[in-house]
Structure 1
Amino acid sequence: MDTIQIFEKLWKEYTERTPSAKRIKDLFESRGDVVYNDHVAFRTFDDDRVNIKVLAAPFIEAGYIECGDYHFEKKKLYAKHYEHATNKNLPRVFISQLLTKEFSSELQEIVKNMIESIALEELHPSDLVFKGRLWDQPSFEIYQKLQTETEYAAWLYVNGFCSNHFTVDVNRLSSFDTLQEVNQFLKDNHFKINTSGGEIKGTPSELLEQSSVLADKIPIVFKETTKEITSCYYEFAFRHAMYNGELYSGFIAGSADKIFESTDMKLQEV
């Protein structure tokens, strides 16, 4: 599968669980903007069968290289980002993983059981990013247990391996000059912005400004009941020029930390 096919397949699956992203993209295009993707993000666990290295496999095969790593001490996460070696117009890829050993033995056991329940033939690195949830029907009781320790694990438990978010490259929108203008446009069209850490995460001096809308909610059929749980969200990134004139291409851990919270259920209640 070539790079274009990878991202087309990811976008199709992503918009099925994130219909707001398609509506937002249509709104931009109705103004005459062409929407380019800054990066796509994924979440996983630190188990060798499904870790960052495994999820990165199809991108490495398509010509991507590792370009940076990030530590999130409070959320107990580790992440890497990848860029295509020769084509800088292709989206970046950001993959994070939960450091399960830093959580309770109960959480570790739950995650271990989830991964061990996956059929071996499903654990192909070349297509794991497309697979979604590969374990049994979730239990709301287990979901709540995970949620008490980390929203990240609870989200993964119900959503599985998929694009956590796509990101609009605001620099390449023709009808907006700033991220502030984009946020106002979204609010004017009745989308809720993630305000954790402020509507805009990052500053011009940090060379990257980011914002996001709150994640969509989709019905999840648990063993005990059906509940609406967060799925995925749309992000917006504005990059500033470095001293050499090139746009900054990395990520800011402190900003990403707050962007992660776009899927937190508690923010849906604000």
Structure 2
Amino acid sequence: MDKNQLLTKLWEQYADITPSAKKIHELLEERGEEIQNDHIAIRTFNDKRVNIDVLEKPFLNVGYEAKGEYNFETKKLYAKHYEHATDKSAPRIFISELELEKCSTELQETVQNILNSCDQNVFNDPELVLSGSVWKGNSQAIYKSLLEESEYAAWMYVYGFRANHFTINTNALKEFKTLEELNNFVEESGWKLNASGGKIKGTPEQLLEQSSTLADLYVVDFEEGAIEIPSCYYEFALRYPMANGELYQGFVASSADKIFESTDVKLQETK
């Protein structure tokens, strides 16, 4: 599988449970915009079977290189981002993992049981990053127990290995010169934005501004009955030039921390 096939499959899998992204994409294209993707984000656990070292492999195989590292103390997350070595138009890849050893014994045991329940050969699949929930993620009780401690872990239980969000490169848009203008367009078109930490996270001084929709709600069929669970969201990024004139390529941990909350059930309750 080459780079374009990998990225296309990630988009198709993501768009299938994030109809808002497809609609926003289409609305912008109708206005004559050509959408470029800034980055794709993926979640996982730091268990050696599925950690960043495992999920990065398909990207390294198609020419990506590891760049920045990030820590999110409150959410107990560690992340790395990747850039393509030769194709500068290729989206960055952002992979985060939940640091299980920092979580409660109960959560650690639950995640271990989830991973142990799988055919262990599935973790050797070169397309694991596209495999969704490879375990039987159909217990509302397990979902809710994880949710009490970590929204991130609860999301992983339901949705598994897939793109958590795609991101519009606002710099490449013709009509929208600021993130505020794009945000206004998105809101006027009927979508709610993640307002945690402000609708725009980051500043020109930090060289990166980010915003995002609240995640779509997707009906999940649990064994106790079907309920709506936040799925994925669409992000928007505007990058600023560094002292050498080149656009900043990395991420701002304090901003990303708030972007993670776009899938938070509590934010959905205020939607």
Tell me if TM exceeds 0.5: yes
Match of 1:80 in 2: 80
Match of 1:230 in 2: 230
Q: Is 1:7 matched up with 2:21?
A: no
Identity across the alignment (%): 56
Match of 1:140 in 2: 140
Please, which runs of 5 or more residues in structure 2 have no aligned partner?
A: none
Match of 2:169 in 1: 169
| Matches for 1:52-91 after TM superposition, within 5 Å | 52-91=52-91
- TM-score w.r.t. the length of structure 2 is 0.98
Q: Which amino acid aligns with 2:233?
A: Y
Specify the SS of the correspondent of 2:176.
coil
Report the CA distance between 1:232 and its aligned residue: 0.5
Please, which runs of 5 or more residues in structure 1 have no aligned partner?
A: none
Equivalent-residue separation in structure 2 for 1:119 and 1:33 (angstroms): 44
Q: Which amino acid aligns with 1:8?
A: T
Equivalent-residue separation in structure 1 for 2:54 and 2:174 (angstroms): 37
Equivalent-residue separation in structure 1 for 2:46 and 2:125 (angstroms): 14
Q: Which amino acid aligns with 2:221?
A: V
Match of 2:36 in 1: 36
Equivalent-residue separation in structure 1 for 2:53 and 2:198 (angstroms): 32
Match of 1:20 in 2: 20
Q: Contact 1:55–1:125 (CA<8 Å) still a contact in 2?
A: no
Q: Is 1:159 matched up with 2:150?
A: no
Q: 1:181-210: CA deviations, max 9, x gaps?
A: 000000100100000000000000000000
Q: Which amino acid aligns with 1:111?
A: V
Q: Contact 1:57–1:125 (CA<8 Å) still a contact in 2?
A: no
Q: 1:187-244: CA deviations, max 9, x gaps?
A: 1001000000000000000000000000001111111111000111100000000000
Q: Contact 2:137–2:157 (CA<8 Å) still a contact in 1?
A: no
Specify the SS of the correspondent of 1:123.
helix
Match of 2:117 in 1: 117
Q: Is 1:45 matched up with 2:6?
A: no
- TM-score w.r.t. the length of structure 1 is 0.99
Q: Contact 1:137–1:223 (CA<8 Å) still a contact in 2?
A: no
| Matches for 1:251-266 after TM superposition, within 5 Å | 251-266=251-266
Report the CA distance between 1:88 and its aligned residue: 1.1
Equivalent-residue separation in structure 2 for 1:160 and 1:113 (angstroms): 15
Equivalent-residue separation in structure 1 for 2:94 and 2:220 (angstroms): 26
Report the CA distance between 1:143 and its aligned residue: 0.9
Report the CA distance between 1:125 and its aligned residue: 5.0
Specify the SS of the correspondent of 2:249.
coil
Name the Cα RMSD after superposition. Answer: 0.8
Equivalent-residue separation in structure 1 for 2:248 and 2:20 (angstroms): 28
Equivalent-residue separation in structure 1 for 2:145 and 2:261 (angstroms): 18
Report the CA distance between 1:121 and its aligned residue: 2.7
Match of 1:189 in 2: 189
Q: Which amino acid aligns with 1:141?
A: A
Q: Which amino acid aligns with 1:227?
A: I
Report the CA distance between 1:137 and its aligned residue: 3.8
